[in-house]
Amino acid sequence: MVNKKAMEGYGRGAIESEVNYASPYRIIQMLMEGALARVATAKGCIARNEIAEKGHQISWCIRIIDGLKTSLDAEKGGEIAENLDSLYDYITRRLLEANVSNDVAILDEVTKLLEEIKAGWDGIPPEFH
């Protein structure tokens, strides 16, 4: 049987290695993937009534969203950065509501919003990375 700690360590090491060589676009994609994974895990925690872990996963997702928000460049990004800033604020509020109410429907809404944002990043042609 594979040691869970070893696998977690491998995962962290692989991510750290990828971040060292990733473009800023890839880092954003990785952050989005991480946020989506945290929301999915939080949904599972609600189903299993693991309230403390649900709160941990949602808090982790909020920290990722905060990181994405602070990386916005209003000067270069203009209206797009402004819209993303507002959307990240909205997502954070919805995550807080989901945490308090254990509402999977809110987490589904957040997932859809994050998937739309990620699809935009995924659609950027490689020559612009």
Q: To the nearest whole number, what is the mean pLDDT of the chain?
A: 87
One-letter amino acid of 22: A
CA-CA-CA-CA dihedral for 111, 30, 84, 63, to nearest 10: 80
pLDDT at 15: 55
How would residue 13 be classed by pLDDT, with cut points 50, 70 and 90?
low
Q: With a cut of 80, say whether residue 21 has pLDDT above it.
A: no
pLDDT given at position 93:
98
pLDDT tens digits, 85-107: 999 999 999 999 999 999 999 99
Q: Give pTM, 2 decimals.
A: 0.83
User: Is the pLDDT at 4 greater than 60, yes or no?
Assistant: no
State how far the Cα of 41 lies from the Cα of 17, in Å rounded to an integer. Answer: 24
* Of 13 and 129, more confident: 129
Which domains, from first to last, does the chain contain? 23-122 (1.20.120.340)
